Amino acid sequence: MPGIFAKGGRLAPINRCTCQRFSDNWHLGDKMQYTDDKLVNKVILITGGAGFIGSSLAFYFQENHPAAKVVVVDIFRGVKTLSNGNLKSFGHYKNLVGFKGEVLYGDINEAALMEQLFKNYRFDYIFHQAAISDTTALEQDLMIQTNVNAFKRLLDIAVSHKAGMIYASSGAVYGNAPSPQKVGNELPQNVYGFSKLMMDNIAKEYIEKNKEMHLVGLRYFNVYGSREFFKNKTASMVVQLGHQILSGKAPRLFEGSDKILRDFIYIEDVIQANIRAMHPAKNGIFNVGTGKARSFQDIANILQKELHTNYGNEFIKNPFIGQYQFFTQADISPTVKALDYHPRFELEDGIEAYIPEIKRLFQDEVAR
């Protein structure tokens, strides 16, 4: 079996999860509408809308709810970098090519943008995806300013507009907390995870003080899929390893990658969670994953199988020990109950659906 080998040439088992399928007529790659609400004349704000998840949401609404008005706000990418060398912002216009809604440039840290959003619009829903999301960033001041302070200002707009707020939290809040990770058992190991936990704490206060408010936080686990490419080094290992393999190289993994387990979730299931959160059974903070941990070795194996290669693996030492999660697995039982959320994509399914885009990106963005 080509491409299913672990270190030393041993066959590496692939652990399958049992993600729920909606019906026997479901086919891989089928697009789903996750709400019966047509959203006619509803005004929807997406912050970070030129990024990975934000742009995916923008196109979901365009394709499935064309009667809604979608406003995208993003700072877009520039030349500014963090001290680790990574770009400060990953928003890219190419993620929005074909989008027909309104696009605004703006920094959520700037009072002028908040004033514009408050005065010039009346939002029905706010999907807050904008953040400094680099888990290796060292700028604690910028992280708290962008992720925490700006979030509170957006919450105030939501309260004033009587808008539903769905925002991006993160599985990074758990750090090395025991798996399966459950809300209420957080132990962040980096400032990014800490900032997201502080956001969640603020959200709980707003839920308590504003009984009529619609507010849902979604703790994303390891998301992969289309429109992530422009995250550069912070893009998922699915696309990074895929491009290594397409370059004719063995996938480069940390030593012991068969034992480094994460809850990898395909972008379509993240979109499902966001749309389900528009009509929740209750407010709160919920995990968004598959509920099944898989290894980085599994990713490499599946990619080699899908790409019909057998390059083996290249193993390197892990330089991030101490700030690195070795086992994440979301407890999604509260999410299923509150949001009627049911992940559709096993890791094999997600990678299979993603392969054509991985190949296109390699041809158009990497190899040329």
Is 282 a catalytic site residue? no
The C-alpha atoms of residue 362 and residue 95 are separated, in whole angstroms, by 16
Q: What is the pLDDT of residues 256-281, one digit of tens each?
A: 999 999 999 999 999 999 999 999 99
**pLDDT score at 319:** 86
Q: What is the pLDDT of residues 239-253, one digit of tens each?
A: 999 999 999 999 999
- Token readout for 266 is 């395909």
Q: Of the candidates 216, 212, 234, which has an alpha carbon nearest to the alpha carbon of residue 224? A: 234
Selecting among 196, 231, 292, 305, the annotated active-site residue is 231
CATH class held by domain 7-13+40-366: alpha beta
**pLDDT score at 268:** 98
Is 192 a catalytic site residue? yes
**pLDDT score at 25:** 42
| pLDDT band at 22; cut points 50, 70, 90 | very low
Mean pLDDT across the stretch 118-140? Answer: 96
The overall average pLDDT reported for the chain is 92
- Token readout for 17 is 């999860």
Contacts for 183-190 with beta carbons within 8 Å, 24 or more apart? Answer: 183/219, 183/284, 183/285, 183/286, 183/287, 183/331, 183/334, 189/322, 189/323, 189/324, 189/325, 190/135, 190/136, 190/323
Selecting among 125, 167, 192, 354, the annotated active-site residue is 192
